[in-house]
Structure 1
């Protein structure tokens, strides 16, 4: 009998694995619509869509393993990280998707709300929030929209040896800032930023990357705690914020 394993589960969605098939269950079909369309447009390897019967999407497993995990040292080679950077560059050079992404004003407004909540509820020290809010300012500048993955966590990129075999979880894809994808990929793995930038082969403003590290972490903490995750684990979001002090 094939074992069924829960990959991730929270109030918004769940992913199960049964053998070589992933079953994604999402109550918001708009997210699944985006995921399927984005995978069809992306010029990088993505999982094969086996079938779709709302609210379930069945995807084939990718070969290889995740590039890394947040909070854990990555065992992938420098060449694999550089290959991930090259794949991201290929995505960013592709034609824009027809749907919009988040605007600069939306991001800035959400950041203000989350910073106020973190301090008012005593979740983080005020000086830690203030310092990272200052660092985040570097990311809050106009950008030229590109085709972004939108949630390019290190665990969403699969490699086999030094080759990228696929990228998963496209429900947040849309028009956005290229450096947001690069920052999300390297969040908590600062030691591999140079490898990713080398593979990306374009000028990258490191202050903006640092800004997105702070901004993404500040935005994520409330959602993570409300959905059963712990952002205070070693190497995770709170440690990312502390590293900027």
Structure 2
């Protein structure tokens, strides 16, 4: 059938799915609270976001962004240092914006969740106990009180689109809320430590690099079970944990 757009499955698991049809992305989410946050966060964020074409729960239709993703976890990024710096500048613009109404988890809640995930990793033989212990020790630096900012909450490299050295948009705002600025920077640079200097330069403020490295360990420790149970490959996160060195902390 000539002229009929193909349907591409971008991501799909038990909680949500994203389909692409031509220049339109269709996001299907079982939890409409997440979809509510996404729409409201995109409207409030002072950075480029996808245009909302229409919404008919449980489906949200978004226009495609110009350019390509900044990179992918587990693969070298083709983006320039200036593009990574622009991503850091976009994060700073977001973090300087007025706080959104949605709360995020406290350090104590994160710590309790982290301990449960570490126990699961060891009990199920996913990682050697010494790797888990070393990363849990490094992660401790992230479990401190933080001043909340308007945080994206899931600022992965695949969620930041660039065209040349320009950020054209940021995707997937369902985890937005009042969070730790350094968690966003750590999520952006997870698996790309060589790009951290570019991001920090673009961010334009003093940041605690030890805390960013702590979030690398913490996010990876917490992600592996979810990724495994939802059919995703956790090897990039495992590689981050295996590459952790006590000199990080």
1:181 and 2:184 aligned = yes
SS class of match (1:117): helix
- Could you tell me which residue of structure 1 aligns to residue 100 of structure 2? 97
Question: 1:89-131 CA distances to partner (integer Å, 9 max, x unpaired)?
Answer: 0000000001211111110110010001111111110000000
1:55 and 2:94 aligned = no
**C-alpha RMSD of the superposition:** 0.5
- Could you tell me which residue of structure 1 aligns to residue 238 of structure 2? 238
- Contiguous gaps of at least 5 residues in structure 2: none
Question: 1:51-103 CA distances to partner (integer Å, 9 max, x unpaired)?
Answer: 00010000000000000001110000000000000000000000000121111
- Contiguous gaps of at least 5 residues in structure 1: none
- Could you tell me which residue of structure 2 aligns to residue 39 of structure 1? 42
- Could you tell me which residue of structure 2 aligns to residue 127 of structure 1? 130
The count of residues paired between Structure 1 and Structure 2 equals 242
Query: Is the contact made by 2:102 and 2:176 (CA closer than 8 Å) also made in structure 1?
Result: no
TM-score (norm 1): 0.98
Equivalent of 2:117, from 99, 114, 119?
114
Shift of 1:219: 0.1
Cα distance in 2 between the residues matched to 1:61 and 1:68: 17
- Could you tell me which residue of structure 2 aligns to residue 224 of structure 1? 227
Equivalent of 2:78, from 54, 63, 75?
75
SS class of match (1:2): coil
Cα distance in 1 between the residues matched to 2:70 and 2:161: 6
Equivalent of 1:163, from 166, 178, 182?
166
SS class of match (1:165): strand
Question: 1:120-145 CA distances to partner (integer Å, 9 max, x unpaired)?
Answer: 11111000000000000010000000
